[in-house]
Amino acid sequence: MKSKKINIVIGGTFHLPMLFSKLNNLGHDVKIYSSTPKFKFKNEELKRNIVFIPMFFQIIKKILGYNLRPWMKQFDNFVFDKIISLIMRKADILYGFAGCSLLCGKKIKKNGGKYYLDRACPHIEFQNNILIKESHKTDIRFFSANPKTYKRCIHEYTEADKIITPSSYTQKTFLDRGFNENKVFIAPLIGKNEIRDIEISQINENDGVTFAFIGENLLRKGITYVLEAWKMLDTNTHKLIIRTNSLDIYNNSKIKTLLNQDGIIVKEYYKDINDFYNEVDVLCLPSIDEGFGMVVLEAMSNGIPTIISKNVGASDLISDKANGMIVNPGNADEVYQAMKYFVNSKDEIYTYGIQAYNDIQIIINNDLYKESLRKII
Tell me the pLDDT tens digit for each residue of 75-130. Answer: 999 999 999 999 999 999 999 999 999 999 999 999 999 999 999 999 999 999 99
Top-confidence residue, 245 or 48: 48
CA Rg value for the chain: 21
How far is 328 from 12, CA to CA, in rounded Å? 32
Amino acid found at 88: M
Q: What is the DSSP string of 214-261?
A: E-S-HHHHTHHHHHHHHHHS--SS-EEEEE---THHHH-HHHHHHH-S
How far is 137 from 135, CA to CA, in rounded Å? 5
Q: How far is CA 132 from the centre of its chain?
A: 19
The H-or-E segment that residue 266 falls in is strand 264-267
Tell me if 190 sits within 8 A of 369, measured CB to CB. Answer: yes
Q: What is the pLDDT of residue 60?
A: 83
Domain 210-365 has CATH 3.30.70.1450: no
How far is 254 from 167, CA to CA, in rounded Å? 32
The H-or-E segment that residue 153 falls in is helix 147-159
pTM of the model: 0.94
How far is 156 from 37, CA to CA, in rounded Å? 25
Cβ atoms < 10 Å from Cβ of 121:
20
Q: For 129-183, what is each residue's pLDDT tens digit?
A: 999 999 999 999 888 888 889 999 999 999 999 999 999 999 999 999 999 999 9
DSSP category for residue 11 = S
Fold of the domain built from segment(s) 5-192+366-376:
Rossmann fold (3.40.50)
Residues of the chain with CATH 3.40.50.2000: 5-192+366-376, 210-365
Going 63 to 66 to 71 to 73, the CA torsion angle's sign is positive
How far is 102 from 88, CA to CA, in rounded Å? 14
Tell me if 91 sits within 8 A of 6, measured CB to CB. Answer: yes
Q: For 52-69, what is each residue's pLDDT tens digit?
A: 999 998 888 888 777 777
